[in-house]
Amino acid sequence: MISEAKNCIIVESLVSGKRMPVYSTSKVSSLADIAIFTETGEVTLKQVFKNISEKENGGEIAAKDSGTDLKAYFEQILPNYDRNRVYASDMKKIVQWYNLLLKNNLLNLEEEDAKPEESTKE
């Protein structure tokens, strides 16, 4: 997201660099709002990216062309992912997003600090 306007936001493509308006009637999701289904609940996309980064030592993911390769890879980075609800197409998007964010130096895997406690006056 680059900027906000009266009835839209201005976004910039990480691939082409082209800027365009996205209106409030469009369905847009932030990567921070996306979670992956697991057998016990959900895991944030940020945590999945952390797992990938640890496995790849901070590097890019090699191309995974087949669904079988993607599923085998996901079993390594998120062993308890829900095999009935997470599809190969979802895995492919995650791999693409990870590589794109890494390439553009936008992959922020740092833990967000909790709000600093306000000091109380005695």
> DSSP E strands: which ranges in 1-122?
3-4, 8-12, 19-23, 35-37, 42-44
CATH architecture group of domain 33-103: Orthogonal Bundle (1.10)
Per-domain boundaries in the chain:
33-103
> pTM (2 decimals)?
0.80
| Count of all residues that appear for the chain in the document | 122
The CA-atom distances, in angstroms, between 113 and each of 29, 30, 48, 110, 117 are: 24, 20, 19, 9, 11
Confidence band, pLDDT 50/70/90 cuts, at residue 76: very high
Q: What confidence score (pLDDT) does residue 115 get? A: 47
Q: What confidence score (pLDDT) does residue 14 get? A: 85
Specify the long-range contacts of residues 64-71, CB closer than 8 Å, at least 24 apart: 64/91, 64/92, 64/95, 67/91, 70/95
Per-residue pLDDT reduced to its tens digit, 2-51:
898 888 889 988 888 899 999 988 888 888 889 999 999 999 999 999 99
The contacts of residue 74 (CB under 8 Å, 6+ apart) are 81, 86, 91
Confidence band, pLDDT 50/70/90 cuts, at residue 112: low
